[in-house]
């Protein structure tokens, strides 16, 4: 991650940082171009056409006034001889101005339409890209809060980037308009340009200063804003309602929400007040500059150096130039602001997964011959001092059923995550058939392993889809889905549901049916049977099942995993004893390994835990 390029959260942005951020724009437009080259090109051409309109309109206006003055001087349009052609010319000019106004209006509408179409396409395009990139990253990157903030900022600004798009395009258009107007103004009096700058530059500097401060504020609040979203979710979601009600948490949550949002309000209020005060001062300065220029122009007109048409043209040009320049400078700060936000997006795209595919991965062994060997494996979570696993050395033999036993936090789930390459070991290595697991394609490893974690997801989808997620490539294979359900006993549930396998589950959308914890678990278990995996891993798969269901599930599991390697984590010894071997973990380290009988005979930690549980049943 290139954190060095990200401005720090407490210092306002320097000009250099602003200009640096502009370097993101070409890449941004590259992406926009990728989204829709046709609309982008048409948009550019129309904007160039539109930028010539202000100066043209003013010039035609000048010609009209001069023509009227000429006609008046010649005794009035109706009476003067030879004035018919002058009148015709006058009406032609009016028609041209009218045409220009219509054309300008039409162009603006088409441009706005294109901006919004392009913006929407781009927002969808980046959202998809963000999702795709997020999918390629490692689990531990998601568990890192700085990463999460970055992802959140990248995600939140999808709509902001749509605005940036029209701002940058508008900027280019206005710059060209200004060029035309400035040429006109300078041919009359170059000093007027100087007055213009005096009128506008302070406003610009003020604007950029306050933009810096609001960006800094926004950035400093990222983590708290995330908390605000979380509180909002806790306070009003179907998943949390039960507990929030029972524990009467709503007041506690609302107060916390209120305190946080009040803090945001106070911070933003003082900034908004300062901004508005200074804004008034700068705008006064601007008016002063404008009226000084106006006086210069009027004096020259009175002395006969300028025609009345010139006067209106120049005054109009000056007024328009001022508002364009102001617009451009103000927009510059928000464009560079937007460009800095883009940095968040690009930095997010630059985060690379560490668990990568080697250039020439080895084919996954079919069948596995020697098994998985842990060689002094240790693992520490990011930012954690403690080792979640340490000094693990053992072999998971092919065809063996291994149970992992240990108290809460002993490192059982972590060991599974290492085995499935969700993480790579911090030290030591894991071999599969004598070759480092990192030499295989991680996707292939995950395909060959069927794993159900204790915190499996309850998808708010149909029952069939809930099972199919175990092997999404076969989502249409009804036969496979139904046999998997039979293996996990979820088929009995399907028979009871009104919509059978097509029944929507969960209450979030449509007419879903909510299930009990054990029912959900059977569905999750079916996912493991969806793939013809060589290694099956169940992490506390039966915790929510009743005694009979648990017995049946394990009877089946034993039959179904015959000849396949299986790892189970369970706190129930009735389940654990079915395994061929048991690995006992304590504080991340292996303390014992052996069959149920061997370990009882040894009378060590396993025997102690076993007797403790058995006592509870006596
Ligand atoms: N994502 C994480 N980030 C940081 N630390 C973690 C993370 N997940 C687990 N830990 C820590 O690692 C240690 C081992 O956790 P693990 O989930 O492997 O235990 P476990 O044996 O599966 O526990 P349980 O029986 O409660 O499921 C714990 O001390 C836990 O606090």
Q: How many CA atoms lie within 13 A of 7 on its CB side?
A: 28
Residue 434 tokens, joined: 């004598």
User: Of 333, 350, 367, which closes a domain?
Assistant: 350
Tell me, yes or no, whether 59 and 176 share the same domain.
yes
Q: Do 31 and 179 sit in the same domain of this protein?
A: yes
Q: Mark 31-58 as b/e (b = at least 16 C-beta within 10 Å).
A: bbeebbeebbeebeebbeebbebbbebb
pLDDT value at position 156? 72
Could you tell me if 320 and 172 lie in one domain? yes
463 and 341 in one domain? no
Among protein residues, the one with the nearest Cα to ligand 1's atom 26 is 408
Query: CB of 410 closer than 6 A to ligand 1?
Result: yes
Classify residue 575: in a domain, yes or no: no
Higher pLDDT, 448 or 618: 448
Last residue of a domain, one of 291, 322, 350: 350
Separation CA 70–CA 83 (nearest Å): 10
pLDDT at 25 over 70: yes
Does ligand 1 come within 6 angstroms of the Cβ of 388? Answer: yes
Q: So what's the ipTM on this one?
A: 0.95
Percentage with pLDDT > 70 across the chain: 94
Instruction: Give per-residue pLDDT as tens, 251-273.
Output: 888 899 999 999 888 888 888 89
The answer to whether 564 touches 534, Cβ cutoff 8 Å, is yes
pLDDT of 189 above 90: no
Assigned domain for 409 exists: no
Dist. CA 615 → ligand 1 center (Å): 27
Quote the domain boundaries for residue 281.
18-350
Q: Is residue 63 part of a domain?
A: yes
- Model confidence over 525-579: pLDDT tens digits? 888 888 888 888 888 766 667 777 777 777 777 777 777 888 988 888 877 888 8
575, 568 Cβ separation under 8 angstroms: yes
Atom 28 of ligand 1, residue of closest alpha carbon: 409
DSSP-derived pairing of the beta strands 589-594 and 372-379: unpaired
User: Considering only CA atoms, which of 381, 367, 364, 377 is closest in space to residue 443?
Assistant: 364
CA of 613 to the centre of ligand 1 (A): 22
327 and 464 part of one domain = no
- Does any ligand 1 atom lie closer than 6 A to the CB of residue 414? yes
What is the biggest distance separating any 2 CA atoms in the chain, rounded to whole angstroms?
A: 129
Is the CB of 384 within 6 Å of ligand 1? yes
pTM of the predicted model as reported, rounded to 2 decimal places: 0.69
Whether residue 617 has pLDDT greater than 70: no
User: Does 383 map to a domain?
Assistant: no
- What is the residue with the minimal CA distance to atom 16 of ligand 1? 411
Q: In the predicted model, what is the mean pLDDT of the chain?
A: 84
Q: How many domains does the chain have?
A: 2
Which residue of 147, 407, 411, 585 sits with most ligand 1 atoms within 8 Å of its CB, as the best mutation to test the pocket? 411
C-beta separation of 371 from 53 below 8 A: no
Residue 341 and residue 482 in one domain: no
Question: Radius of gyration over alpha carbons of the chain, in Å?
Answer: 36
Closest Cα to atom 4 of ligand 1:
381
Cα–Cα distance, 400 to 594 (Å, whole number)? 12
Q: Determine the pLDDT at residue 305.
A: 85
Q: Name the E strands within 333-453.
A: 372-379, 389-396, 401-406, 427-432, 435-436, 449-452
Q: What is the mean pLDDT of residues 376-390?
A: 89
What are the pLDDT digits (tens) for 273-323? 998 898 888 888 878 888 888 888 888 889 988 888 888 888 888 888 888
Of 68-82, 184-198, 371-385, 499-513, the range with the highest mean pLDDT is 371-385
| Most confident option among 33-42, 338-347, 509-518 | 33-42
Which residue, of 504, 532, 560, is where some domain finishes?
Answer: 532
pLDDT > 70? residue 32: yes
CB 229 near ligand 1, within 6 Å = no
Question: What is the CATH number for 214?
Answer: 1.20.1560.10
Same domain, 66 and 192: yes
Q: Are 250 and 241 in contact (CB under 8 A)?
A: no
Cα dist from 231 to 227, 265, 497, whole Å: 6, 17, 34
Segment 113-116 long-range contacts (CB within 8 Å, at least 24 positions apart): 114/39, 114/42, 114/43, 114/46, 115/43, 115/165, 115/166, 115/169, 116/162
Is 12's pLDDT higher than 60? no
pLDDT at 2: 36
With pLDDT > 90 as the criterion, what percentage of the chain qualifies?
18
367 in a structural domain:
no
User: Do residues 349 and 11 touch, judged by C-beta distance below 8 A?
Assistant: no
Ligand 1 neighbour 321 (Cβ under 6 A): no
Do 336 and 22 meet the contact criterion of CB atoms below 8 Å apart? yes
Say how many Å lie between the CA of residue 406 and the centre of ligand 1: 12
Domain membership of residue 593 (yes or no) is no
User: Does 345 fall in a domain?
Assistant: yes
For 393-412, what is the mean pLDDT?
A: 90
The answer to whether the CB of 409 is under 6 A from ligand 1 is yes
Whether residue 441 lies inside any domain: the answer is: no
Phi-psi region of 5 (alpha: psi -120 to 50; beta: other; left: phi over 0): alpha
Strand 427-432 relative to strand 372-379: parallel, antiparallel, unpaired? antiparallel
51 Cβ closer than 6 Å to some ligand 1 atom: no
Residue 321 and residue 198 in one domain: yes
Judgement on whether residues 271 and 129 belong to the same structural domain of the protein: yes
Q: Is the CB of 413 under 6 A from ligand 1?
A: yes
Which residues are bridge partners to 396 per DSSP?
Answer: 372
């Amino acid at each position: 991650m290139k954190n060095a390029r990200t401005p720090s959260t407490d210092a306002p942005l320097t000009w250099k940082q602003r200009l640096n951020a502009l370097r993101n724009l070409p890449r941004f437009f590259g992406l926009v171009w990728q989204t829709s080259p046709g609309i982008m090109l048409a948009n550019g051409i129309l904007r160039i056409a539109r930028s010539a309109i202000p100066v043209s309109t003013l010039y035609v206006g000048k010609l009209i006034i001069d023509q009227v003055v000429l006609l008046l001087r010649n005794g009035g349009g109706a009476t003067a001889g030879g004035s018919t052609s002058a009148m015709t010319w006058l009406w032609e000019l009016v028609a041209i101005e009218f045409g220009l106004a219509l054309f300008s209006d039409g162009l603006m509408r088409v441009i706005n339409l294109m901006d919004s179409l392009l913006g929407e396409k781009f927002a969808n395009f980046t959202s998809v890209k963000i999702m795709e990139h997020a999918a390629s990253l490692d689990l531990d990157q998601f568990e890192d809060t700085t990463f999460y903030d970055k992802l959140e900022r990248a995600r939140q600004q999808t709509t902001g980037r749509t605005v940036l798009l029209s701002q940058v395009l508008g900027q280019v258009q206005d710059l060209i308009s200004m060029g035309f107007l400035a040429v006109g103004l300078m041919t009359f009096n170059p000093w007027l340009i100087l007055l213009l700058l005096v009128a506008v530059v302070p406003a610009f500097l003020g604007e950029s200063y306050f933009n810096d401060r609001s960006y800094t504020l926004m950035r400093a609040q990222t983590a708290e804003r995330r908390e605000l979203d979380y509180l909002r979710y806790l306070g009003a979601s179907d998943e949390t309602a039960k507990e929030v009600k029972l524990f009467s948490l709503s007041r506690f949550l609302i107060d916390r929400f209120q305190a946080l949002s009040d803090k945001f309000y106070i911070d933003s209020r003082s900034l908004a007040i300062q901004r508005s005060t200074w804004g008034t001062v700068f705008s006064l300065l601007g008016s002063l500059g404008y009226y000084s220029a106006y006086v210069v122009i009027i004096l020259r007109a009175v002395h006969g150096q300028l025609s009345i048409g010139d006067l209106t043209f120049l005054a109009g040009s000056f007024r328009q130039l001022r508002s364009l320049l102001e617009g451009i400078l103000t927009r510059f700060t928000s464009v560079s602001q937007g460009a800095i936000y883009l940095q968040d997006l690009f930095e997010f795209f630059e985060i690379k997964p560490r668990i990568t595919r080697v250039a020439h991965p080895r084919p996954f062994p079919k069948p596995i011959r020697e098994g998985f060997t842990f060689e002094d494996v240790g693992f520490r979570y990011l930012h954690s001092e403690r080792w979640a696993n340490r000094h693990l050395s053992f072999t998971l033999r092919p065809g063996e059923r291994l149970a992992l036993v240990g108290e809460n936090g002993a490192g059982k789930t972590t060991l599974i995550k290492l085995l499935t390459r969700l993480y790579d070991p911090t030290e030591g290595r894991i071999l599969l058939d004598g070759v480092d697991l990192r030499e295989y394609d991680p996707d292939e490893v995950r395909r060959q392993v069927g794993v159900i974690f204790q915190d499996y997801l309850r998808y708010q989808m149909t029952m069939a889809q809930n099972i199919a997620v175990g092997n999404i490539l076969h989502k249409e294979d009804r036969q496979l889905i139904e046999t998997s359900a039979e293996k996990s006993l979820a088929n009995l549930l399907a028979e009871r549901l009104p919509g059978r396998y097509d029944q929507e589950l969960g209450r979030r959308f449509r007419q879903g049916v909510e299930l009990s914890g054990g029912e959900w678990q059977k569905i999750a278990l079916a996912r493991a049977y969806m793939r013809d995996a060589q290694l099956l891993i169940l992490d506390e798969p039966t915790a929510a099942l009743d005694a009979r269901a648990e017995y049946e599930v394990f009877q089946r599991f034993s039959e179904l995993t015959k000849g396949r390697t299986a790892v189970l984590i369970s706190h129930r010894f009735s389940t654990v004893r079915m395994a061929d071997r048991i690995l006992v973990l304590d504080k991340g380290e292996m303390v014992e390994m052996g069959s149920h009988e061997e370990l009882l005979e040894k009378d060590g930690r396993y025997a102690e835990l076993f007797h403790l549980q058995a006592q509870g049943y006596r």
